[in-house]
Structure 1
């Protein structure tokens, strides 16, 4: 199977998780009103998903290293189907928060296993190209999913969205069974022993390059999670957009991200991966801080918010696919564990940032923009500390 076809399959599988986040964003204000809860309480449905999504990756990575890549996919997708059904039937916000956690536990497999499959199949610039192709498919979801969600709430209510997600997971199960090959040969599989697992985890946690790259990408992703949790309320309540208008404004940011992510591979070959990442992080921090300065100065309009986030997220398109590949390059024999541990740290960081932002969120753009700028500055500091440590072998 060609790298293109493999990337297409992995992208389709990986898109289920983002759809579970993005499809119901236009419905969050209506969801909060339907269940009689505050905006902060509604945001907990995202926090529970992200935290469960992150922690569950610790299981799927080692499991995929031992059993191969496909069995964990079957189990995770089955759990996701159960969680989607629970969410569709949830009578209270507490039940919905719990259901979203179950969804996150299942959806986590779609973050870990595709990255490990990429590491099985390609490394270096080839791996970056493959990751970028996967990101292209995934990145369509922030454009299509909110529009699909806004269309669905015209046909029913927010519960219909979760029934559709249940159907998408069933399709993903069929793709896994009939289209995805097993990429980890039996001879390469690692049996799970607690001692060796802890030893491998120690290797990763004490590797400054792995940890630095993980959190550079992690703070980049956390900034986007903050945007996801806050944007529907800001765009609808402060700027008066309809759910469809919000979906279109939301999609603009995705265009910047996926367009830049597709350039990451060719630009990495021409200028070097490390240099490209340094430029990307500096651009991300520069645009995010500039946007915060404009908002603090009183220039708070929808075009300024959308343009500033478009530019910042375009820079993230150069950073996130690259950090994912580079963090795993030196840990091929424990790629599953490295992928799951890195993913856990990144998702928990995102969940924590959503929770912290929720403490200050007042329905306006300022808390959202300030949190994004904080993430960008943290990513820049880590990049300055980490990128000089990357070996010359990773720079080609």
Structure 2
């Protein structure tokens, strides 16, 4: 691989004479297969040369992170003395990053084994119960576990165990979440997760049975959880803004159209695979994790054309089956957080700053657009993939024109 990167014989000879040539060469080949650009490979190769010379890596034993940090400090100081950099920060950071990833690839990094927390077994049992007994979706289970772990870490910091927790401890924790700037809805979600956990813990005899019924989150008012999103006019402006020939915009336009037209959730777009699109019959299949079933939609021309353009001209050549990938190495599927960043960035580019800036804002915008178009709540719920009409009913509150008509009805003098 190094022969492909360096043309000058003297430079190539310097790399060949340095220690661990085969190990460096195989790592560069691995990064090339992973989709790294030529310039990136050059930067890694040059940095690896400094890594092996400064660390003086033994032929057999592993290398500790402390050894890497010491070498990074030495290298950064050398760069400053030579006038190549003005601060230690970036030279040190690049040295540590390249050395760590290379040694981990070789299996020669002596990483510190982090012991699982004492409550790991409790979380595992709680997860199985939510999945098998309550039939909750994987997303809900993950969210509940996240909130419960936050509380159990807090308990460890305050020398509390599940068996000794009192309702005052739960109230103190919820209050601390509010003090950190959590919204009332977030605190209420935490309270709901803790109530479920302590209900299960009481069944197992881990805690006092009176804790779960006593947990109360902050009161949520009816207008507090109304869905919010950009207007449909703003959504069209958002779509038009990414109608360019830039590779990033070509990909992002296909993503935004899926969120806006089909009101998909982030996890649903992230998991879309090439096999989910039936080009012959113009259909797209989406796995709904909450319903635990696949829902099929007609593939509209605007969405189909956007995806085709992305697949043909932008999507990196890769064996992954997920549709949406990163455009720079390492090439991997876009995560849920990555999709949030895509939508949030595109909204900011057109001056949109709603309360919620991620994909869920486009889901709400789609739902409100369907309401104004006159579709029934049942039809809207089917489109959104809701399991019950109660989840869709909230969108009736935001149809202000229809509510004004109701307010104008003559009740014949009744008061």
TM-score (norm 2): 0.23
- Compare the two structures and name the one with the higher helix fraction: 1
Structure scoring higher RCO (CA < 8 A, sep ≥ 6) equals 1
How does the TM-score come out when normalised to structure 1?
0.23
